């Protein structure tokens, strides 16, 4: 004995008998959307037409606004990472230099454990509720990577001041030693 189920289930009839005429999908009113007509041809009314120079100026101003907003967002994220790292150091009772060294030597699980303790036991975890231990770990690593890249660029710029002709081409002081240029200059 087999059970049979209809493949298509009929719509459930409304309990109100006055609404029975709305069972058919063709009778359900659809939301109307506004259609915007955009003409690709030139207008006959010259007052509404913008010249190429006006369009270029508008585009340039929009691009400059977007670039300024992007710079502001980048600076805000950098300040946020720096503040988070400072708070993490304060929570753990370490100086920033000590924390940098220990963080680089730690494994992934230990980093997540420290971040989880920070999120669950500090004011930051309570004040910024969607803050997760994984995001704290990623933000700290981004902060340390940005500091490392800025310290590398500072050290390469200080080494480039000693021999600007060579460093402007290569930018790496260790390459001088590798190629023997420092020994030849003595």
Domain membership of residue 148 (yes or no) is: yes
In a domain, residue 101? The reply is yes
The boundaries of the domain holding residue 109 are 72-155
Greater confidence (185 vs 37) lies with 37
User: Using an 8 Å Cβ cutoff, are 137 and 85 in contact?
Assistant: no
> Does residue 171 form part of some domain?
no
Is residue 80 one of the residues assigned to a domain? yes
What is the DSSP code (8-state) at residue 15?
A: S
Q: Is residue 85 part of a domain?
A: yes
Pair 139, 145: CB distance under 8 Å: no
Residue 145 inside a domain? The answer is yes
CB-count exposure of residue 75 (10 Å: 0-12, 13-18, 19+): exposed
- Residue 129 inside a domain? The answer is yes
Query: What is the per-residue pLDDT across 139-184, written as a single tens digit (0 to 9) for each?
Result: 899 999 988 877 776 666 555 544 444 444 444 455 455 455 544 4
Q: What is the pLDDT of residue 171?
A: 47
In angstroms, rounded to a whole number, what is the distance separating the alpha carbons of residues 17 and 20? 6
Condensed to tens digits (0 to 9), the pLDDT of residues 17-65 reads 555 555 455 555 556 666 766 666 655 555 556 788 888 888 999 999 9
- Least confident among 27-41, 88-102, 113-127: 27-41
Count: domains in the chain: 1
Residue scoring higher pLDDT (135 or 149): 135
Residue 158 CA to residue 156 CA, distance in Å, equals 5
Q: Which two tokens stand for residue 152?
A: 């590398």
Query: In this structure, are residues 66 and 74 in contact, taking their beta carbons and an 8 Å threshold?
Result: no
- Put simply, whether the predicted model's pTM sits higher than 0.75 gets the answer no
What is the predicted pLDDT for the residue at 65? 94
Residue 84 lies in a domain: yes
């Amino acid at each position: 004995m087999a059970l049979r189920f209809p493949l298509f289930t009929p719509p459930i009839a409304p309990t109100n008998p006055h609404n029975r005429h709305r069972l058919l999908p063709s009778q359900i009113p659809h939301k109307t959307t506004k259609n915007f007509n955009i003409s690709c041809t030139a207008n006959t009314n010259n007052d509404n037409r913008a010249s190429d120079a006006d369009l270029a100026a508008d585009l340039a101003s929009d691009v400059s606004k977007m670039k300024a907003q992007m710079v502001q967002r980048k600076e805000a994220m950098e300040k946020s990472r720096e503040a988070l790292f400072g708070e993490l150091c304060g929570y753990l009772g370490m100086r920033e230099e000590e924390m940098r060294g220990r963080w680089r030597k730690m494994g992934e699980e230990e980093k997540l454990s420290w971040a989880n303790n920070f999120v669950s036991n500090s004011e930051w975890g309570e004040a910024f509720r969607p803050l997760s231990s994984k995001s704290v770990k990623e933000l700290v690593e981004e902060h340390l990577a940005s500091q490392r890249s800025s310290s590398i660029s500072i050290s390469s710029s200080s080494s480039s001041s000693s021999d600007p002709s060579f460093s402007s081409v290569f930018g790496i002081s260790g390459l001088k030693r590798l190629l023997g240029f420092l020994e030849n200059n003595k």
